Amino acid sequence: MNEKIQKVAKLFEKKAKEYWGRKASGFLFVCKDDNTVFLALRSPSTGGGWSAVGGAVAQAGEGWFDSDHDTPDPPDQIFWNSAVREVIEELGSMPNVQSTLADTLFRDGGFTYKTFICNLTREEKDRWTNGLKIKPSEHSSARWFPVNDLPSNRHPGLAYSLQNIRT
């Protein structure tokens, strides 16, 4: 491998470590019934800022977390399963999703983050929110915001998702 390719490969590997893995996914929950969006405030140790909920794809035996920078993305089902696992780990339970409205796909070098934008009914929103058990090492707060009044201190991943929703 020539020197230039080696430098690029090392850059991709460094970026992937900054992202805590090479593939990741999460959910951005919305409630169309009352025009709100669910956001979690990341703990200072995880970067701060309001964000969607998710994390590294680390499905047992799949090797996506520490894969090479040129490893193709996993199938959508692996992204989905990983996002579900993260929501349960960080908030205590997964809501019953009414529908998937859209998604976003962020790529940077060998890193990929897929965000699923999902609708919850008003009833499911209330049921799920009342039972939240926020993991303090991940988030310091979580709440629903009116779509037209989102907080300004957004995690860069959330800002990207809000600007690049694919339907």
H helical segments located in 19-114: 76-91
Residues in contact with 11: Cβ distance below 8 Å, sequence separation at least 6, in sequence order: 109
How many independent structural domains does the chain possess? Answer: 1
Q: Rounded CA gap, 36 and 71, in Å? A: 36
Domain hosting residue 118, numbered range: 3-163
Using an 8 Å Cβ cutoff, are 123 and 34 in contact? no
pLDDT tens per residue, range 30-61: 999 999 999 999 988 777 899 999 988 875 44
Give residue-wise pLDDT tens across range 59-79.
Answer: 544 454 455 556 778 889 999
For range 87-94, the mean pLDDT: 97
CATH number of the domain within which 113 lies = 3.90.79.10
In this predicted structure, what is the pLDDT of residue 20? 62
Give per-residue pLDDT as tens, 4-19. 545 544 544 444 445 5
